[in-house]
Every structure is written in structure tokens, then in C-alpha cells.
Amino acid sequence: MKKGFTLIELIFVIIIISILAITLDINPTNDADEVDQEYELVKGDLNYIKQDNLNQDFFDSTDTNWINKTDCFVLNTKNQYELSNNGVVLAGKEMDSKGYSRDLKSNLEIKDKDGNNLNKICFDNLGRAYKNNLSLSNQIKGDITLKIKTPSGDYEQIIKIKPITGYIQ
């Protein structure tokens, strides 16, 4: 009696495992991969809105309402944010069919240097970051931290926005 498997038996087992893998729709991505992908999306959207405000150059010394024309990053819930202009969600070609609104599978939180929760970040015509709206008292004095975490909280990615320059890292 010989020990081991024949080539036919091994091929048969590989075929069965392949069929099971296809029917069970095994997805090799995990929560950490989702966080990494959403980190890139959020960072890209922040850079987009900052660059859009730089390009538009809404500043007008004769118009006291120029501040309300700038675009902002607004966190609606821990899983959903939008890029908006004075409460109006922007419609654009670069984003999904919902315009500039994104739903996340991960949790997103925004905090200032003192640990206070924020729900809105705006950039002025020079790229400087502001919390909530563009008034001098709201210009950020320290790093703003955006944390993108798995729902279980065991993995996170961090985006920082620097004061004065609005540099996003």
C-alpha cells in the first residue's frame, strides 16, 4: 500500500476549494484596508477643497460677504462628510453621483489642538485653515487632527492640518 496522494486527487481538491472560494465570495480586504483607502479619499478631498479656494480667490476687500463664498469640509456624522459652500453641497465631476457627499465605512473624528471636536474646516484664499467658519478668531492656532478609525477602533490613520500654512499631512 503506497502512502500519499495522486495527482488526480490533489487537482480534485484544488478544484473543490476554488469553487467554494468563488461561491462564498471571500474578500481578502479587511477593516484596515478600508481605513487606508478612506484615508486617501479624505486627504484628497481636503487638498481639493483647499486648492479650489486658492484657485477661486474669493477675497474681495469691497465685499464683506466674500467669506461665505469659500468651500468647507463638513463632518455630518462620524461616517459621512461633505464638501460644501455655505451649506450647499457642491456638485462636481470628480466625486460620486451624490456630488461632494461621502459615506464612510470607517469612523472619522476631527479635533483641534485642545481636543475639542470640530465638524467643519474651511480654507481661505491663502490656504489657511479655519475651524467652523472664516473669522480671525477661528483661524487654527495648532494642528487639527482628523482620525479615521475602524469601527472597532483597533486601527487608525491620522491626517494633520498645520496652522498658518494649512499644510495637510
pLDDT of 139-163, one tens digit each?
888 999 999 998 888 899 999 999 8
CB-based contact 105:38 (threshold 8 Å): yes
Task: State residue 98's pLDDT score.
Answer: 42
CB-based contact 54:127 (threshold 8 Å): yes
Average pLDDT over residues 115-132: 86
Highest mean pLDDT among 11-15, 84-88, 149-153: 11-15
Assigned CATH for 29-161: 3.55.40
Place of cell 467669506: 67
Q: Which amino acid is at 113?
A: K
CB-based contact 142:113 (threshold 8 Å): yes
Per-chain mean pLDDT for the chain: 82
CB-based contact 43:159 (threshold 8 Å): yes
Q: Which amino acid is at 108?
A: L
pTM, full prediction: 0.74
- Which grid cell is 120? 467643519
Cα separation of 60 and 32, whole Å?
A: 44
